[in-house]
Amino acid sequence: MTKEMQFKTIVAQYCEVKPEDMNNDMRFREDLGFSSLDFMSFLGELEDTFDVELEEQEALKVLTVGQALDLLEKL
Amino acid sequence: MKEYYPLTAAQKMHHNWIKKYKTQQVSGVSVVASLQSPLDFGLLKKCIQLEFERYGCMRIRFTKPDVNGEVQQYIVKKDNRDIPIKDLSGMSLAEADRLMQQWAYQTFDGDDIPLCDVTMLKLPEGFNGFFIHMDHRLIDSCGIVVMINDVMQLYTHFRFKSAYPENLANFEEVLAKDLKKANNEKRFAKDKKFWDDQLDALGEPLYSDIQGPSVLEEARKLHGNKNLRAADIELNNLFVEVKDYYLEHEPTQNLIDFCMNHQLSMTNLLLLGIRTYLSKVNNGQEDITIENFISRRSTHDEWTSGGSRTIMFPCRTVIAPETEFIAAAYEIQNVQNRIYMHSNYDPELIEKEMRRRYNTPENTTYESCYLTYQPMPVKMDNPHLVDIKQHSKWFANGAATKKMYLTVSHTEHGGMNFSYHYQTAHLTEHDMELLYYYMMRILFKGIAEPDMTIGEIMEQI
């Protein structure tokens, strides 16, 4: 599984959209229905799965699936 | 072969209260769900029995406590119990509610026993349904709502051939995943650092009481320490009263719109309302801590696995009076967002760390107010039942571990219910009236003029 698909599989656990139907422009809150709690739990899950450390203020600026993927790629 | 598991942090929270207050009553949760319609009780019994198979958390048992009072949990494979039926239809609905309130006070006493009772009910005015009484270590209120909906989906499947409900997540698998996450050393270190950093930055918290500074002053006298920053908790008289206030649809919508327009969550707006009240009645105290309950349900599996996932964390903010209302709301939101990221941590460890650092006396606390915001109404969300009148109600367990515990929930008519559970040993209905009245004044002043400062709002209301 590619890193992107692995990432989208995690996102899909938090919403009703399947990984294959997910596009990078989708917004976590408006399009995928994430609450604040969902989003912050999701960030924690990313850290644990990919063994990375997210800078909280930077991560809070993320609005879309694509932006989150970019942030993950940079680490 | 039975698998034994330790308790999760959320379960431990309830277990510790049982140990501290020496009664299981503090961990009871009860609800009635009924419809103003005839029900096939034979079929309903089959659905409830099926639910015991589908929803693993209903089959949790606890072992005998060890020398330290600690227990382990296991899930029995089968629970082939009969589901009794009681006929209360000869009473008025109010009388039936009073009787169910008495049932809610019952305790589950013993080791290795079921901690869940379900009774089918014929109620007055043509209502029929069931009453559930459980131990909070098995389930939280979100879990109960999911269970009620699942039972009724099973019922409408068998009765009206609607779709069979989707499988619920396996409780035992989700439990194992949670425990693994809690034991992840890197995650634990990050969470610990977050909570320790907060104490490093802000120092010892300062108690603020609903009734003003006299409560802390009394604690200072009692402990002979004029610098004490925590106040005593009630250990003996745990009797609780409940006072409900209903906020109508239109003002509720105004609060919701404000949250939507400013990308704020309702929890954070409510926390701001409570903290501003506490600040007002405590001579403008800026450092306020409120315990806020977090559901910890985000993924599909977490939503449908049942269990007790709700856990409370201290929301501590230091807000100066010259801070604008909207800025204060964002400050709380910022704190809460960071707490959400570290909500796998066991709050008992935060308390232990504070006691270690500040020598906080035993049986004292820094908080007088506890908040639960519950976005899900106790309503059977089922297209076959949509036009049928429902009577659903939560019953307080009658023994409060907290001085004041506010549950805010949405009603089916678009309003919000503010349910204040308060210890009668120290608080009266009048205290709740004042709290609700000023909370509303603060919130509606603030959303009308979000640039107004907290100090100005406190002065004007």
pLDDT tens digits, residue range B314-337? 999 999 999 999 999 999 999 999
Using an 8 Å CB-CB cutoff, list chain B residues near A41. Answer: 296, 298-299, 340-341, 343
In tens, the pLDDT along B12-26 reads 999 999 999 999 999
- pLDDT tier at B377 (50, 70, 90 boundaries)? low
Residue B304 pLDDT more than 90? yes
The answer to whether residue B333 neighbours chain A at the CB level (below 8 Å) is: yes
Residues B145 and B287 in one domain: no
- On whether residue B158 sits in a domain, the answer given is yes
Which 8-state DSSP code applies to residue B360? P
The answer to whether residue B301 neighbours chain A at the CB level (below 8 Å) is: yes
Exposure of B275 in the CB half-sphere (CA atoms within 13 A): 29
Residues B171 and B265 in one domain: no
3-state helix, strand, coil in chain B (%, to 5): 45, 20, 35
Residues B249 and B349 in one domain: yes
Residues B382, B47 contacting (CB under 8 angstroms) = no
**What's the whole-number mean pLDDT along residues B154-183?**
95
Q: Pick from B152, B175, B198: which residue ends a domain?
A: B175
Which tokens belong to B387?
A: 């036009």
Could you tell me the residue range of the domain that residue B124 belongs to?
9-175
Q: Does the beta-carbon distance from A13 to B337 stay under 8 Å? A: no
- CA B375, B392, B134, B75: dihedral to nearest 10 degrees? -70
A74 or B229, greater pLDDT: B229
Give the whole-angstrom CA distance, residue A12 versus residue B398.
41
Q: Does the beta-carbon distance from A41 to B333 stay under 8 Å? A: no
Residues B58 and B133 in one domain: yes
Q: What are phi and psi of B58, to 5 degrees?
A: -70, -15
pLDDT recorded at residue B401: 87
- pLDDT tier at B252 (50, 70, 90 boundaries)? very high
Give the whole-angstrom CA distance, residue B61 versus residue B75.
6
Give the whole-angstrom CA distance, residue B136 versus residue B301.
19
User: For residue A17, what is the nearest residue in chain B, using CA coordinates?
Assistant: B300
Residue B378 pLDDT more than 70? no
Give the whole-angstrom CA distance, residue B136 versus residue B126.
30
CA B33 centroid distance within chain: 19
pLDDT recorded at residue B380: 66
Residues of chain B with pLDDT > 70, as a percent, come to 99
**What's the whole-number mean pLDDT along residues B181-203?**
94
Question: How buried is B305 (Cβ within 10 angstroms: 0-12 exposed, 13-18 middle, 19+ buried)?
Answer: buried
Q: Between A and B, how many residue pairs show a Cβ–Cβ distance under 8 A?
A: 50
Residue B459 pLDDT more than 90? yes
Residues B208 and B93 in one domain: no
**What's the whole-number mean pLDDT along residues A22-35?**
94
Give the whole-angstrom CA distance, residue B367 versus residue B154.
43
Q: Does the beta-carbon distance from B338 to A56 stay under 8 Å? A: yes
The answer to whether residue B309 neighbours chain A at the CB level (below 8 Å) is: no
Residues of chain B with pLDDT > 90, as a percent, come to 90
**What's the whole-number mean pLDDT along residues B115-126?**
97
pLDDT recorded at residue B24: 94
pLDDT recorded at residue B45: 98
Residues B163 and B187 in one domain: no
Using an 8 Å CB-CB cutoff, list chain B residues near A42. Answer: 298
CATH number at residue B151: 3.30.559.10
| Shortest CA gap A1–chain B (Å) | 21
| Shortest CA gap A11–chain B (Å) | 9
**Model ipTM?**
0.89
Residues B430 and B308 in one domain: yes
A38, A53, A60: residue with CB nearest B298: A38
Instruction: Compute how many other C-beta atoms are within 10 angstroms of the C-beta atom of residue B362.
Output: 7
Using an 8 Å CB-CB cutoff, list chain B residues near A47. Answer: 187, 190
CA-based torsion, B132, B136, B137, B142: positive or negative? positive
Residue B375 pLDDT more than 80? no
Q: Does the beta-carbon distance from B184 to A40 stay under 8 Å? A: no
Which range, A39-53, B347-361, B389-403, has the best average confidence (pLDDT)?
B347-361
Using an 8 Å CB-CB cutoff, list chain A residues near B376. Answer: none
170-209 in B: which are within 8 Å (CB) of A? 181, 184, 186-187, 190
Residues B400, B16 contacting (CB under 8 angstroms) = no
B380 or B160, greater pLDDT: B160
Residues B197 and B125 in one domain: no
**What's the whole-number mean pLDDT along residues B181-204?**
94
Residue B414 pLDDT more than 70? yes
Residue B398 pLDDT more than 90? no
| Shortest CA gap A44–chain B (Å) | 6
Fold of A3-74: 1.10.1200
Domain definitions of chain A by residue range:
3-74
- On whether residue B3 sits in a domain, the answer given is no
Which tokens belong to B86?
A: 């009681």
- On whether residue B84 sits in a domain, the answer given is yes
pLDDT recorded at residue B379: 61
CA end-to-end distance (rounded Å), chain A: 19
pLDDT recorded at residue B188: 94
pLDDT recorded at residue B381: 67
B187, B190, B265: residue with CB nearest A36: B265
Q: Does the beta-carbon distance from A41 to B341 stay under 8 Å? A: yes
Which tokens belong to B71?
A: 């227990």
CA-based torsion, A27, A30, A34, A39: positive or negative? positive
pLDDT recorded at residue B382: 77
Q: Does the beta-carbon distance from A56 to B187 stay under 8 Å? A: no
**What's the whole-number mean pLDDT along residues B4-16?**
96
Q: Tell me how many domains chain B contains.
A: 2
The answer to whether residue B235 neighbours chain A at the CB level (below 8 Å) is: no
Residue A57 pLDDT more than 90? no
Which 8-state DSSP code applies to residue B22? T
**What's the whole-number mean pLDDT along residues B159-169?**
94
Using an 8 Å CB-CB cutoff, list chain A residues near B337. Answer: 36, 40, 60
Q: Does the beta-carbon distance from A56 to B343 stay under 8 Å? A: no
Q: What crossing angle do the helices spanning A3-13 and A36-50 adopt, rounded to 10°?
A: 150
Q: Does the beta-carbon distance from B340 to A37 stay under 8 Å? A: yes
CA-based torsion, B283, B287, B288, B289: positive or negative? negative
Average pLDDT across chain B, whole number = 95
User: For residue B183, what is the nearest residue in chain A, using CA coordinates?
Assistant: A48
**What's the whole-number mean pLDDT along residues B261-280?**
97
Q: Does the beta-carbon distance from A13 to B184 stay under 8 Å? A: no
The answer to whether residue B344 neighbours chain A at the CB level (below 8 Å) is: yes
Residues B15 and B35 in one domain: yes
Q: Does the beta-carbon distance from B186 to A48 stay under 8 Å? A: yes
Q: Pick from B175, B194, B213: which residue ends a domain?
A: B175
User: For residue A36, what is the nearest residue in chain B, using CA coordinates?
Assistant: B337
Residues B342 and B449 in one domain: yes
CA end-to-end distance (rounded Å), chain B: 63
Q: Does the beta-carbon distance from B333 to A38 stay under 8 Å? A: no
Residue B253 pLDDT more than 70? yes
Q: Pick from B175, B207, B241: which residue ends a domain?
A: B175
| Residues of A contacting chain B (CB within 8 angstroms) | 13-14, 29, 35-44, 47-48, 51, 53, 56, 60
Q: Does the beta-carbon distance from A41 to B186 stay under 8 Å? A: no
Nearest Cα to B342, choosing from B194, B205, B198, B202? B194
